[in-house]
Amino acid sequence: MVKPDGVQRALIGKILQRIEEKGFKIVAMKLALMPVEKAKEHYVEHVGKKFYQDLVDFITSGPCVSMVIEGRGAITAMRKMNGATNPVDAVSGTIRGDLAIETGRNVVHGSDSTASATREIALHFCSGELVAYKRIDEEWLYE
Ligand code: DAT
Ligand code: MG
């Protein structure tokens, strides 16, 4: 997900380019303003933490671009491509390392496990919004 800061800073294209060039397939994508109730559900694991309210306020402060990424090892690889939560710790070459400064404005979200991906996909997309298709370079991306 490209968070509201990424959308406002016109970084959608740059972020999508990294994902496409890596070889991952975008099988669903939308720009939407997240309703507060959905934001609370999205960040349910952080309920009770001191930054929770700021997180909900921020993620609902403008549109996000949500997408479903498919590819071998996509969850782990996307987390690595996103970089460490605190951009100060995110290495160069990662999205947060290259494009962000503070934890609360770290440009992207990525599901951290199969379980959270399943939960988050169901929260942000209907099953009919996921599109199965073949990319023409797949046989050059996979052995
Ligand atoms: P990530 O987004 O890398 O999965 P997370 O799930 O621990 O990180 O936290 C979700 C978001 O909450 C994170 O992207 C930014 C914010 N956040 C995390 N830890 C924070 C902290 N200590 N202070 C302020 N915001 C924080
Ligand atoms: Mg997380």
pLDDT tens column, 75-85? 999 999 999 99
Q: Is 42 a catalytic residue?
A: no
CATH of the domain at 51: 3.30.70.141
* Residue 2: per-residue pLDDT: 99
Supply the range of the domain harboring residue 76: 4-141
Model pTM? 0.98
Proximal ligand: closest to the CA of 85: 1
* Residue 53: per-residue pLDDT: 98
Domains in the chain: how many in total?
Answer: 1
* Residue 34: per-residue pLDDT: 98
In this prediction, residues 6-15 reach a mean pLDDT of 99
Proximal ligand: closest to the CA of 104: 1
Please indicate whether residue 55, judged by its CB atom, sits closer than 6 Å to ligand 1.
yes
Which atom of ligand 1 is the closest one to the Cα of 109?
Answer: 2
pLDDT 10s digits, 99-119: 999 999 999 999 999 999 999
pLDDT 10s digits, 46-65: 999 999 999 999 999 999 99
Q: Hey, whose CA ends up nearest to atom 21 of ligand 1?
A: 51
Residues 5, 1, 26, 101, Cα dihedral to 10°: 50
